[in-house]
Amino acid sequence: QVQLVESGGGLVEAGGSLRLSCVASGRTLRRNAMAWFRQAPGQEREFVATIWSGGVSKYADSVKGRFTISRVNAKNTLYLQGNSVKPEDTAVYYCAAEVLRAVVTDATAWKYWGQGTQVTVSS
């Protein structure tokens, strides 16, 4: 069993930066992929970025070049660094763990989810 807890959300000005953390408790996830998704009001959960155990990562086009996903396996922690944030980045950000299928961009492919942390980007 795995529990995921996100933190670091809040209000940030457009053009500024954000840094989110996700701490996993329970068994180690060092051999599993992890990901960030986000969900704005009235919208479906959207893929942001994923990182495999070996450090290879993949990003959504909407955040590519601005966001960086990383992990520290010894701390069971996942990070999301976002620069030059935009109002359209406003959403609840969720971390996910243990992908069940190869389609990592599909929210339904992930087994474990955190409760989410709100990020609001002002214009």
What is the model's pLDDT at position 29?
Answer: 65
The mean per-residue pLDDT over the stretch 42-50 comes to: 97
SS3 helix, strand, coil % of the chain, rounded to 5? 5, 55, 40
pLDDT tens string 79-111: 999 999 999 999 999 999 988 888 999 999 999
CA dist 66 and 41 (Å) reads 22
Measure the CA–CA gap between 112 and 56, rounded to whole angstroms: 20
Beta bridge partners of 58: 50
The string of pLDDT tens digits covering residues 2-12 is 999 999 999 99
* pLDDT-derived band at 30, boundaries 50, 70, 90: low
**For the segment 57-85, what is each residue's pLDDT rounded down to a tens digit?**
999 999 999 999 999 988 889 999 999 99
Report, as an integer, the average pLDDT of 28-34. Answer: 76
| Cβ-based neighbour number of residue 56 at 10 Å | 9
